[in-house]
Structure 1
């Protein structure tokens, strides 16, 4: 991913996710696997996932 990216690590530091916001799409990947696969979802879908995480339903 060559766009600005943010990363998040779980408590143990072994569960890292890198997130890049590219216009109307959001890309995610395992930050330990730079050449590994990415998951691309619409910005709206990613916002719904974040909302579910934040309110505890996911």
Structure 2
């Protein structure tokens, strides 16, 4: 069963032009989606993979 994501957030550094990604949590899963297409596909990562992604981006 796919996780259900409801409380989507985007970065506080977003300038409001819809050119960013949003994330949401569901248990130990993190959903990532394009804010231009909120009904589109969601990339789902386990929490450790999300942590590794964030670390790599810094």
TM-score by length of 1: 0.73
Unaligned stretches of 5+ in structure 2? none
Match of 2:43 among 39, 44, 49: 39
The alignment partner of 1:28 has SS state of strand
Unaligned stretches of 5+ in structure 1? none
Q: Which runs of 4+ in 1 moved over 2 A?
A: none
The alignment partner of 2:23 has SS state of strand
Match of 1:16 among 2, 17, 20: 20
RMSD value, Cα: 2.0
Segment drifting more, 25-34 vs 13-22: 13-22
Question: Which residue of structure 2 lines up, in the alignment, with residue 53 of structure 1?
Answer: 57
- Greater share of residues in strand: 1
TM-score by length of 2: 0.73
